[in-house]
């Protein structure tokens, strides 16, 4: 007798009514995608659980993958069986004898109310047979083994092991966002936090060759292949930014270069978000880190877009951002040396309180609209997919 299903649980709170149906449909699909290397596992969708039918597969690698799927709160390795009480006694005894420990507790849940025996009596019967046939003792407060029985319409599930999972919402239920991805530490972490909330990302990157080298693109691909763990396919739009930057430096006061550069970035992100049907933009900005990230700067920069701009790491400490970057395995890639368009053109004394009027004044000196359209039309698109991982 071996465990034959994995029971997938999702949070109760956010899953009501029609939303719940969408939530389950999207999650089931994401699970199918995450497990597509396991050819013969199948997925069963029920009202408040999803089951992965193992069909003889080793459960360990499957559980490991599922623990990272957004929207799953916990998992149990279960044995599906006939709910007849004599059978439940036999199965429970056999399963608990494979577990290590000295004490146990039995838990029963009768989701199918037509089942003739109430939960307390199921527990009594099953605990009785375990006590009579093993050396295990009952401990209701802190048992070494918790044996659970759930009676449902389609059968009974018996299990001893429950695993925590990532929580959050299934990827895709929150729509799609245009995420500004640099090669730094913060923007991949911001992307991860959004994906955890069920939001799919599409990335925009501003490249300034020859000032920035092509290695940056390899770096971005490596970062995205780490993020493929949470979103199996990510579209990366690379925007040629050199001409715009050169024009900025030709026309604007050095102390306003960063402000105007970022206004151009947000304009490009806004236009591309509209083209790609993303109702919002996101970035890895964090308040106070650099001159362009003061509230006054954000005010002046944000003025170019009416889309919501989500900044998931805005109030996080750098050490905590780094911790997350290590957890999602992007940190070592992010710290590889590279030239960012921000660092190349960084002025000695950027304005920390740039005025909106001043910024507009400098911008009027060149035809940035034409340059923006040209840059968008010449964007290079790369899809980074799960298969691209080289390990
Ligand atoms: P990061 O570590 O993410 O690079 P940072 O602390 O270096 O962030 P900035 O360089 O000021 O901060 O950038 C702030 C945010 O602006 C980035 O997190 C990213 O979302 C966006 N950004 C900066 N440079 C680029 C770029 N070349 N392409 C796309 N987005 C960018
Ligand atoms: Mg940066």
Pocket of ligand 1 (CB under 6 A): 180-182, 184-187, 204-206, 283-285, 289-290, 292, 340-342
Measuring from atom 10 of ligand 1, which residue has the nearest CA?
A: 342
pLDDT of residue 211: 82
Confidence (pTM): 0.87
Distance CA 142, CA 74 (A): 20
Question: What angle in degrees, to the nearest 10, is found between the helix axes of 17-34 and 59-66?
Answer: 130
**Mind listing the domains of the chain with CATH numbers?**
5-164 (3.30.2130.30), 176-390 (3.40.50.620)
Q: Identify which of 79, 76, 89 has the alpha carbon closest to the alpha carbon of residue 2.
A: 79
Phi, psi of 43 (to 5 degrees): -115, 130
Distance CA 63, CA 76 (A): 9
Nearest ligand to the C-alpha of residue 284?
A: 1
Which residue is associated with the tokens 């991982």? 389
Ligand 2: centre distance to CA 138 (Å)? 57
Ligand 2: centre distance to CA 182 (Å)? 6
pLDDT of residue 389: 46
Q: How many CB atoms lie within 10 A of CB 174?
A: 19
Ligand 2: centre distance to CA 180 (Å)? 10
Ligand 1: centre distance to CA 169 (Å)? 26
Distance CA 266, CA 305 (A): 7
pLDDT of residue 128: 97
Distance from the Cα of residue 364 to its chain's centroid: 41
8 Å CB contact between 180 and 286? no
Distance CA 278, CA 27 (A): 21
Q: Which atom of ligand 1 is nearest to the CA of 290?
A: 11
pLDDT of residue 1: 85
pLDDT of residue 143: 97
8 Å CB contact between 166 and 72? yes
Token couple for 48: 């408040």
Phi, psi of 305 (to 5 degrees): -130, 145
Query: What sections of 254-350 are H helices per DSSP?
Result: 257-275, 295-302, 318-327, 331-334, 341-344
Task: Print pLDDT tens along the chain (391 aa).
Answer: 899 999 999 876 555 667 788 889 999 999 999 998 998 999 999 888 999 999 999 999 999 999 999 999 999 999 999 999 999 999 999 999 999 999 999 999 999 999 999 999 999 999 999 999 999 999 999 999 999 999 999 999 999 999 999 898 999 988 999 999 999 999 999 999 999 999 999 999 999 988 887 789 999 999 999 999 999 999 999 999 999 999 999 999 999 999 999 999 999 999 999 999 999 999 999 987 666 688 999 999 999 999 999 999 999 999 999 999 999 999 999 998 866 655 656 666 778 888 999 999 999 999 999 999 999 999 999 999 987 444 4
């Amino acid at each position: 007798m071996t465990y034959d299903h994995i029971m997938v649980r999702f949070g109760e709170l956010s899953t009501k009514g029609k939303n719940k149906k969408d939530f389950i449909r999207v999650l089931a699909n994401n699970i199918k995608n995450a497990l597509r290397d396991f050819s013969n596992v199948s997925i069963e969708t029920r009202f408040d659980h999803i089951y992965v039918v193992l069909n003889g597969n080793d459960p360990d690698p499957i559980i490991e993958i599922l623990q990272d799927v957004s929207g799953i709160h916990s998992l149990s390795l279960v044995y599906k069986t006939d709910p007849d009480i004599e059978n439940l006694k036999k199965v429970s005894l056999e399963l608990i004898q494979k577990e290590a420990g000295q004490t146990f507790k039995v838990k029963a849940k009768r989701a199918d109310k037509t089942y003739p025996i109430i939960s307390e009596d199921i527990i009594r019967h099953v605990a009785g047979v375990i006590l009579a046939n093993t050396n295990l003792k009952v401990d209701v407060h802190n048992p070494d083994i918790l044996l659970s029985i759930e009676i449902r319409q389609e059968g009974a599930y018996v299990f001893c092991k429950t695993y925590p999972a990532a929580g959050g919402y299934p990827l895709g239920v929150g729509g799609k966002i245009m995420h500004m991805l640099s090669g730094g530490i913060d923007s991949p972490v911001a992307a991860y936090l959004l994906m955890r909330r069920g939001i799919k990302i599409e990335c925009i990157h501003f490249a300034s060759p020859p000032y920035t080298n092509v290695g940056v693109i390899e770096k971005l691909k490596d970062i995205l292949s780490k993020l493929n763990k949470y979103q199996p396919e990510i579209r990366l739009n690379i925007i040629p930014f050199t001409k715009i930057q050169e024009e900025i430096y030709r026309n604007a006061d050095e102390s306003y270069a960063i402000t105007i550069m970022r206004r151009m970035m947000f304009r490009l992100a806004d236009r591309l978000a509209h083209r790609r049907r993303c109702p919002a933009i996101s970035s890895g900005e964090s308040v106070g880190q650099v001159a362009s990230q003061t509230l006054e700067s954000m005010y002046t920069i944000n003025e170019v877009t009416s889309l919501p701009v989500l900044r998931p790491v805005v109030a996080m400490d750098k050490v905590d951002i780094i911790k997350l970057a290590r957890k999602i395995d992007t940190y070592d890639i992010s710290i590889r040396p590279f030239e960012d368009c921000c660092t190349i053109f960084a002025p000695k004394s950027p304005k920390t309180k740039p005025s909106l009027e001043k910024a507009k004044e400098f911008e009027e000196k060149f035809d940035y609209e034409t340059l923006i359209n040209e840059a968008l039309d010449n964007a290079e698109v790369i899809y980074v997919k799960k298969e691209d991982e080289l390990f």
